[in-house]
Amino acid sequence: MAIGLEDKKQIVSEVNEAANSALSAVLADYRGVNVDDMTVLRKSARDNRVYLRVVRNTLLKRAVVDTEFECIQEALVGPTILALSQEDPGAAARVLKDFAKENEDFEIRALSVGGKLLDANQIDVLAKLPSLDQARAMLMSVMLAPVTKLTQTLNEVPSKVTRAVAAVRDQKQDAA
């Protein structure tokens, strides 16, 4: 079905706006994936705040011009689905990687972070990045560790004194 010029401009504009605010991009080939599975993928993307769009390669090439994802142009071959992580750099990689595990027809083609095009085998590196909440929790545990250790050390002093007094008492009772 042919798309009119105005519709094409709108698609390019929408994808460009999403790409400008995205942290990472993942491209995949969706050939052979049925409609029900694609619906599951779209729902998972929405739940994880991932922008997911099937876009013609010619329109996608225009949409990523002057963005940090301009490097993905060389990976645009065949049917392409684009996933952009809006809040968490690893979200799109996790969503597509999990989907690819369940659907052997779905093939991750390339990914981009920080203006660099990465090979599809780097998906694990990006998918294992902690989410924002996980990163905050890790940071807080690192910040709390010295305070926790200090508190434990200060609590050991009265405990040692109590144990020493109890040992002396037990010694005197045994002597008597």
Q: What is the pLDDT of residues 64-76, one digit of tens each?
A: 888 888 888 888 8
- The answer to whether residues 114 and 141 belong to one domain is no
Same domain, 84 and 169: no
Q: Quote the pLDDT of residue 1.
A: 60
Same-domain status, 134 and 117: no
pLDDT of 43: 92
Q: How far is CA 24 from CA 12, 60, 97, in A?
A: 18, 15, 14
Domain of residue 12, residue span: 5-129
151: burial class by Cβ within 10 Å (0-12, 13-18, 19+)?
Answer: exposed
pLDDT higher than 80, residue 2: no
Indicate if 18 and 41 belong to the same structural domain.
yes
Backbone angles phi, psi at 139, to 5 degrees: -65, -45
Are 99 and 167 within one domain? Answer: no
For residue 140, is pLDDT > 80? yes
Same domain? 83 vs 125: yes
- Co-location of 125 and 139 in the same domain: no
11-20 pLDDT, tens per residue? Answer: 888 888 888 8
Number of domains forming the structure of the chain: 2
For the chain, the maximum distance between any two Cα atoms, rounded to a whole number of angstroms, is 104
Q: 0.75 exceeded by the pTM?
A: no
Average model confidence (pLDDT) across the chain:
83
